[in-house]
Amino acid sequence: MFKLILRSTYKTYHGKLGYLFLLLLMTGSLAHMLLLKTVWPVNIYDPIVGFDLSVFPHPVTPSGTHLLGTDPLGRDVLSMFLAGSEPLIKLSIISFITGLISSLIVGTFVPFLFKRFDMLLREFSSGLVLISPPIVLLILGTGDFLEKLSPEMVGFIYGLLGGLGVCYLVISTRVKELINSEFLNASRVIGASELQIALKHILPLIIPYSVALMLSVTTSGIVAYGFASFFGQVGWTPNWGMMIYDAITYGSYLGGTNLWNLMPPTFGFILCSSSFYLISISVKKQFGITL
């Protein structure tokens, strides 16, 4: 089923654009690691502590040495931009996988095999829908937990919130619509157990729903991470939210806020969130999903 989703979504122009944007982000992250190990001096191009002593005052405009200029703290903007793609890629992939697995397992078996527990879980999921993920990240990012709030941890938390929240509500509703379908009744007549029906008949039908929903949830997770990283609530790691904050905060005191400091991280957020959003649209179009 997943191979079918991959092949079918690539046929649409939404899917092609989404996969292209994702490939560009991964290529940028890989290029950053290679450049730091080969061409770029670490003391100048490190995305956090790099500083070019030969250029003053900072920030400087784009040049041959610094293709996107430097920020008010003297760091290379291109290096920071390329490094900022890595945490979002990690967050997105882990969020998507975590939410997909949790929503498929819980969404398939609970409403089909454990109907009483489903009523309780639906109330819990409704509560999760009301929780604002950016606020959750801001709360978790205070105190000692801040250093543990890595992109992987944020992705795992956001994946659970999405998988057991809105994703479960939609999938469980879809499963209930299928419970008394004729083809399922026919399977029961020929001796198939409820577990076999859930695995062989229910699960393949709801996979596209879960994939489409979690792609959308991952898109909002990227925005939430950007919101939290702007306020420094997601640990000390290179990220685009930090770039925007530094450009505005330090730029107001050191040389002014410049477009070459603001445009790259803004473009990065748009590129990353658009990639998952476009793939989500492609899945919905190819499988006739209306959400």
In a domain, 126, yes or no: yes
In a domain, 208, yes or no: yes
Task: Point out the least confidently predicted range of 7-11, 179-183, 250-254.
Answer: 250-254
Number of domains making up the chain:
1
| Residue 277 near residue 213, CB atoms below 8 Å | no
Domain that holds residue 153: 82-287
Only one residue has tokens 């229910």, namely 202
Q: At 89, which CATH number? A: 1.10.3720.10
pLDDT score of 27 more than 90: yes
In a domain, 135, yes or no: yes
Per the prediction, the chain carries an average pLDDT of 83
pLDDT score of 164 more than 80: yes
pLDDT computed for residue 82 by the predictor: 93
In a domain, 16, yes or no: no
In a domain, 122, yes or no: yes
- Please, what sign has the CA dihedral across residues 110, 114, 120, 122? positive
In a domain, 149, yes or no: yes
Of residues 102 and 192, which shows the higher confidence score? 102
In a domain, 56, yes or no: no
pLDDT computed for residue 1 by the predictor: 63
pLDDT score of 234 more than 80: no
pLDDT score of 143 more than 70: no
The pLDDT tens digits for 51-88 are 888 888 888 888 888 888 888 888 899 999 999 898 88
Residue 96, CA distances (Å) to 65, 123, 217 in order = 38, 23, 8
Q: How would you write 76-110 as a 3-class SS string?
A: EHHHHHHHHHHHHHHHHHHHHHHHHHHHHHHHHHH
In a domain, 175, yes or no: yes
